[in-house]
Amino acid sequence: MSLYPQDAENYFLKSLQLRQQLKESFGVKEKAQAIAQSLTSLGTLFVAIGDSEVNTATKGRSHYQKALEFLTQARKAYEEGFSEGHPKVGS
């Protein structure tokens, strides 16, 4: 079975939805960390798609924009899940 970018995107989106539905009893910080992991996976996927379409500038650019949006959301979730100085948050 081989996976394609669309398949990966669907699985990552499903993962994000499931993690967003976690109960608060799971732990607020832990939930934020789990959400951040899914958002990071989505961002990384769109960077890879953009890189693969580097010869098609307009297509690649839209994927990079999506990647930036997911990674920006991931950073915010990591800030909620960890302290600001934590390596996963960066500076």
The DSSP annotation for 28-60 comes to: HHHHHHHHHHHHHHHHHHHHHHHHHTTTSHHHH
Phi, psi dihedral angles at 39 (to 5 degrees): -65, -40
What local confidence, expressed as pLDDT, does residue 63 receive?
86
DSSP 8-state symbol, 24: G
Tens place of pLDDT per residue across the chain (91 aa): 345 888 999 999 999 999 999 998 889 999 999 999 999 999 999 998 888 876 665 666 788 999 999 999 999 999 999 877 777 776 6
- pLDDT, residue 54, reads 64
Q: Are 60 and 51 in contact (CB under 8 A)?
A: yes
**Buried b vs exposed e over 65-80: b needs ≥16 C-beta within 10 Å?**
ebbeebbebbbebbbe
- Output the pLDDT for position 46: 92
Q: Can you give the pLDDT at residue 45?
A: 94
